Every structure is written in C-alpha cells, then in structure tokens.
Amino acid sequence: MNSSTLRAEIAATAARLVVEDGLEYGPAKQRALKLLGKRGLPSGGLPDNDLLDAEVRAYLDLFCADTQPGELAALREVALEWMERLAAFRPYLTGAVWRGTATRHNDVHLQLYCDDPKSAEIALLGARIDYDVGSTRGPRGDNIDVLSLAQTSATLGERVFIHLSILDHDDLRGALKPDAQGRAPRGDASALRQLMEATK
C-alpha cells in the first residue's frame, strides 16, 4: 500500500471516529492508525485536517444527512447560551460545533480569553455551577486549564458536555488568523449567530 493510499484509509477511518465517537481530529487520526494495525506513520505523515474534514463531511452526507443538521443546531444553541453567560471572558467557539460537522456525540469547546486565568473559575463557583478541572496543551506549548461541565439539552434529550479552555487575553490575536483555506478556526457569539441564521 503506497503512502497516499494509506493516508486516505487513515482519513476515512478517522472520519468515522469523528462522527460516531465524537473525537477531535488529532486523536481520531491517532486512533485510526492503531485500528488499522499500522505501527509507523506513512511517509509524508498523517492525513492533514483538510483531507480529514472532507472525509467527515462525506461521511455525514452519506450516513447522517437526516439527523445531523438538527443535532448541530441543538449543540450550537447550547454553545451560544454559554457564550452569552460567559461574555465577560471573550468566549470563542471552536471544534466540530463551530466547523458545522458536529453530531450529538460531540462536545462543545469554548475558548475563554481572560485577563486573569482564575476569573472564569471564580465566576462558575459564584454561580454554583459544578465543573471539573483538567488541562491541555495551549498555543504556547504550556499546559492550560480546561473547565468541563454539563448541561441537558431539551432538544437532544441528553446531556451535552461543555469544555472551557482558559487562555490569556494576549493569545487572542493569533487565534483569529484564518487557516490555509481562508476559514476562521473559531468564532465569537456574533459569528455563531450568523452561522445559525444562515443554516435555518
């Protein structure tokens, strides 16, 4: 199997994991590699996100065309509610809910750009909102806090998990650069409302 064929196979397998298991792109590619029994990377590396995104959208069109738009709309409603509640912390939506590829299996990922990294946590405590604290790698390579909470979506009839990545306000400028396709990798509440209006 040549490297381009292997990358295509990894992308197709990863797309299924993204849609059916709610994985983000990076973890989906790594798991796909393991599921295919490959111990090393194909020459040229793993498929890029553009290839995987195309596979995800093709999978959605083929298997989820009847259900995915409604599930995406419900997740965007949850995201917008939390963006409005957390407006003081400059929230931006990212991930599958922003890209428009989310199903009920996906979580909502918000990035908060705070002057004080503890301010959002203090606000949640003040509002008596239960949350868990985790961490992930930030844009500068250091670990950042991730506050995770859940809310029941009346539309979906199940809990939706919301993850709040706590970033420094100074990181916001670099975060707004478009990708190679000219697409914004994240959006604020105003941008999300426009997307929701456009897909009604």
- First-to-final CA distance of the chain: 43
Helices (H), 25-181: 25-35, 49-63, 68-85, 96-99, 119-126, 172-175
pLDDT at 1: 60
Out of 45, 63, 81, a domain closes at: 63
| Whole-number pLDDT of residue 94 | 95
Whether 163 and 181 share a structural domain = yes
CB 28 within 8 A of CB 19: no
Quote the pLDDT of residue 200.
76
| Count of domains forming the chain | 2
Could you tell me the residue range of the domain that residue 55 belongs to?
Answer: 3-63
Distance (Å, whole) CA 184 – CA 65: 24
85 & 175 share domain: yes
Q: Check whether residue 31 and residue 74 sit in a common domain.
A: no
pLDDT in tens, the chain (200 residues): 667 888 899 999 999 999 999 998 999 999 999 998 876 777 778 899 999 999 999 999 999 999 999 999 999 999 999 999 999 999 999 999 999 999 999 999 999 999 998 999 999 999 999 999 999 998 888 899 999 999 999 999 999 999 999 999 888 877 777 877 778 889 999 999 999 999 87
Sign of CA dihedral 60, 200, 82, 93: positive
Rounded CA separation 121/99 (Å): 27
Last residue of a domain, one of 63, 78, 101: 63
